[in-house]
Chain A
Amino acid sequence: MNDLTIGIGGAAGDGIDKSSETLAKSAARSGLYAYSFNSYQSVIRGGHIWLRLRIGQEKVYSQGDHLNALIALNQDSIERHAPEVESGGAILFNADKLKMNIPVRDNVLTVPLPIGKLLKPLGTVPPVVQNTVALGASMFLAGLEFEAIASVLTDTFSHKSQAIIDQNVGAAKAGYEYARENFVPLGYQWKFSHKRRPYITGNQAFSMGAVAGGCRFYSAYPMTPASGILTWMAEHAEQCGVVVKQMEDELAVANVAIGAGYAGVRSMCATSGGGFALMTEAIGLAGMIEAPVVFVEVQRGGPSTGIPTKTEQADLNQVYGASQGDFPRIIIAPRDPKDCFDSAVESFNLAEKYQCPVILISDLQLSEHPETIEPEDLTSNVPIDRGEIVTSWNEATQGRFKRYKLTKSGISPRTLPGTAETLYVAPSDEHDEEGVLISDVFCNQSLRRKVNERRMKKLDLALRDMPAPKIEGPANADVTLIGWGGTAGVIKEAVAELNASGVRANQLHFKYLLPFHAAEATATLKGCKRTIGVEMNSTGQFMRLLRAETGHAVSDHILKYDGEPFEPAQIAARVRDIIAGKPLSLDVTENEAREIAYHYVRVHLNEEVRPGKISKAAANGRGEAVWQIEVVHRETAAKQGELLVGVETGSTYSWQPVN
């Protein structure tokens, strides 16, 4: 056993994220790998929050599809997730408040923690310290080192008093000792290398890559899931010498970044789909005046306000088509947090070298989930290439400066305001080599053609700076999974699972989306036997692009657009079904029906009840089969009524209380 997934369930405001971070950093300090994903709702307090933290001896690439331990912070979390805990696992909860009221699998350890008693020696503590007791207990059960969590808690509270540090370390110790005295560990045998690995989100990596890469201006308007970049930048602004400007809207955000880029500062802004829609016109301006700016688009579930705290990859069409007219733009879709760091560095060099907007497209999962990376992945010693900047000019000997000179490479010499004798106006109108408008009095046809051609030519050159995608995994596979951006890790794990189960599979993952490696991709795809497009949207946006660029139509699609990220087993199972010719069922599953029922009873009924037995029944005059969900009393399990949910439509038909 070298792979452990711990689930933490509770309500918003319970401190779930912070608890997970403490646990993950503790494992990481011991030299293990960690990856977590928090499935949260768009509420500040309440709702059901479900976080999974996966710890591995080797690198883990997703939150996985297992559950080995559950830390339940409320009764709902026990009922919803305890049955998922696999044999050999454990369920930890506060015995003062919560009860095991639901059957669990065989050989699952129930760990009721007498939190009040354990915390009593520590005096009055804030409620969140209760979580720390459970963390301590889980450290023991998982075979992790107590010293690691003690050091993490000490560092976390180092800015507070010694009393606070003692309280937290004491709470963890109490939990650890209680578990040691009363339970046997779950049997995980770890090899601790004690290589201290950074535990980093995509948004943190974007931010750190940006400041290492010379970004000194950042603008934003708060929007989930891009706000993490704003928060990081604001916190570290002074330390890193970055002017961080929250603007009144995304129109301003994009344009202020363009102004800064034009004036010669490496500038970046970030947003999600809705904010990016407002930035659209400005992206064309950056393309037209050839101002270097980096835009980060962190996708969330759309359309419109959509599902703001859920993940999706459905903004590809938007970033591709953003703004009117033809102009060069570069679109990069990093695959993991390490790649977010590298891509941020790279994007500033590309933006200045090719004097065009660069769009980094991420998604909620990639931007917000933390994972361990190697310490050497983060370095301040990064390449900085500002491209061609003219710093002095002599008009008498060199002639008038041409900011938009027609060159063979497509790149014109750039100059920054303040430089003598290179004065020019950067116009959004079409313009000649000196920046003089050709749009108004004489729309010079040949000149218009030439300047348009010159601008677009920059992309041919830019493509040479980017490595082409390559097949990952075994050659001569029977099936190739194609993806882009943040799903690289989960597809990698699905491929491994398929190969382990006898399906010869590999993957082809795309990072550079524009310019596109059409020739290389076409050649690679010719060698693929069967291709399946895997992406998080409902229409296969990337596969359509792939077809446009290469003529290759994927054999099948695996599309997910329910807001939750892919799990490796889901992908692998669907691949097997596709190979077996099994059609995809779009029906509401039993688990989904239970979740619908949970939400229903919490909103319309009370805290005393929960969904019980679920069975599928025939149409009963409703034109579709239905899920019959018994609602039972939490304590007595006595039936209180029945809820019907359509299997095909997902519609909630009726609530029938028992008389």
Chain B
Amino acid sequence: MATIVELPIQGYESVVDPDWCPGCGDFAVLKSVKMAAAKAGVAPKDLVIVSGIGCSSNLPGFIHSYGVHSLHGRSIAVATGVRLANTDLKVVITGGDGDGYGIGIGHFIHAMRRNLDLTYVVMDNQIYGLTTGQASPTTDAGQITKSTPNGNVEMPINPLALAIVSGATYVARAFAGDPTQMADLIAGGLQHKGFALIDAFSPCVTYNKVNTYAFFKKRCYKLEDDKGYNNRDAGVALERSHEWGERIPIGLLYQHDKPTYESSEAVLRKGPLTKADMRLDEKVFQSLVEELI
């Protein structure tokens, strides 16, 4: 295994300051992403952060790296293309719960079953913030929002359970109240070979008055403190992923070693596509022509 050389965090400082509301959980996530990249030794020039649309999807603009601030719900697809095009790059996806678990959930599931080497950080605030407070796919049942004035009648998505059954090989949950742990979990995802999901509780201080810092501080406990917990067991992890209410687990829920999509793709074994010869071998071309005769 290659030695990891930690890099200075200053290298990731952007010239653009975040425009999030003061107190937004996304500040902690931004800091954690920078810390994780530095810790994992991913140089800014080799880091591509791909996001969708939403408050949290503005994140790539606030960190010095390459990035694509793409369409609502399509960040995973764009990131898949970047990753397949150049396997020398580290590709991180950032976005919100609406972006990833709502409009983009199809790509989310398929990317996990492919086990692409991608790290996906979801800033989960259980609300649509940028559109000023409608119910999101992770909004709790019963919660009153602008689009559910009589209380949300839908069950929330359980992203962790979904990730485990869909084939994600690194499933973690973090909380903006603990950026150090979050940075460790994201760094772990960056180092993990395969699809890593870090569902990060990132409270919306403006539009979600239920799932606040206080709400999570009171309930969250760290899985690493539960000495008996085995995060290599999918059944155990799946059961724990349903724990919600008075106690909510944070930390590395599940990890599994499995070949990545990239390692199974014969063409990519020869190296990144961006370095491949754009000229087709004349012999190969002539054999293609011969098939037509």
Contact = CB atoms under 8 A, between A and B. Distances in A.
Interface of A: 25, 28-29, 196-200, 204, 208, 211-212, 214, 216-217, 219, 236-243, 245, 247-249, 251-252, 254-267, 281-282, 285, 289, 375, 378-380, 384, 416-421, 423-429, 435-437, 440-441
Contacts of B284: 239-240
Contacts of B50: 259
Contact of B267 (A219, A241, A282): A241
A424 B280 CA distance: 31
Given A245-B84, A248-B110, A238 B266 contact: yes
Contacts of A425: 49, 60-61, 65-69
B95 to A, nearest CB: 13
Which 9 pairs show the lowest CB-CB distances between chains A and B?
A259-B81, A214-B278, A255-B77, A263-B85, A380-B285, A425-B67, A198-B292, A427-B69, A260-B81
Contacts of B106: 248-249, 251-252
Given A259-B50, A266-B278, A418-B88, A197 B107 contact: no
A262 B69 contact: no
B220 interface: no
Contact of B77 (A197, A251, A436, A440): A251
B158 interface: no
Contacts of B233: none
26 contacts: A208-B288, A216-B273, A217-B84, A236-B288, A237-B267, A239-B288, A252-B77, A256-B81, A258-B70, A259-B68, A259-B83, A263-B274, A265-B85, A285-B74, A289-B70, A375-B293, A378-B285, A379-B285, A380-B279, A380-B285, A418-B46, A419-B45, A420-B45, A425-B66, A437-B69, A441-B19
Nearest to A253: B77
A268 B69 CA distance: 21
Given A266-B278, A416-B274, A424 B66 contact: yes
B44 interface: yes
Contacts, number: 204
A260 B84 contact: yes
A249 B109 CA distance: 12
Interface string B33-66: 0000000000011101110010000101100111
B81 to A, nearest CB: 2
Interface string B251-293: 0000000000000011110100110111111101111110011
A289 B278 contact: no
Contacts of A254: 77
B152 to A, nearest CB: 26
Contacts of A265: 85-86, 273-274
B18 to A, nearest CB: 11
B35 to A, nearest CB: 19
Contacts of B88: 418
A262 B277 CA distance: 18
Given A259-B78, A262-B82, A428 B71 contact: yes
Given A263-B48, A426-B69, A255 B289 contact: no
A236 to B, nearest CB: 7
B89 A259 contact: no
Contacts of A240: 280, 284, 288
A428 B267 contact: no
* Best-surrounded residue of A29, A249, A255, A259 (most CB of chain B within 10 A): A259
B82 A417 contact: yes
B30 interface: no
Contacts of B1: none
Contacts of A217: 81, 84-85, 273
B16 interface: yes
Given A200-B292, A252-B110, A247 B77 contact: yes
Contacts of A238: 266-267
Contacts of A245: 80, 84
Contact of B89 (A25, A196, A211, A417): A417
A243 B45 contact: no
A373 to B, nearest CB: 9
B78 to A, nearest CB: 4
A265 B19 CA distance: 33
B82 A263 contact: yes
Contacts of B69: 425-429, 437
B77 A256 contact: yes
Contacts of A211: 280, 288
Contacts of A28: 293
* Best-surrounded residue of B84, B110, B268 (most CB of chain A within 10 A): B84
Nearest to A377: B289
Given A236-B288, A281-B71, A285-B70, A423 B278 contact: no
A426 B68 contact: yes
Given A243-B265, A245-B84, A379-B285, 9 more contacts: A198-B293, A249-B106, A259-B68, A262-B85, A263-B81, A265-B86, A267-B81, A423-B45, A428-B71
Given A199-B292, A420-B45, A423-B66, A264 B60 contact: no
B71 A204 contact: no
Given A212-B280, A214-B279, A267 B85 contact: yes
Contacts of B110: 247-248, 252
Nearest to A420: B45
Nearest to A198: B292
Contacts of B276: 216, 241
A216 B278 contact: yes
B84 A255 contact: no
Contacts of B66: 417-418, 423-425
A135 to B, nearest CB: 17
B164 interface: no
A428 B53 contact: yes
Contact of A256 (B78, B278, B280): B78
Contacts of A237: 266-267
A261 B81 CA distance: 8
B293 A29 contact: yes
B79 interface: yes
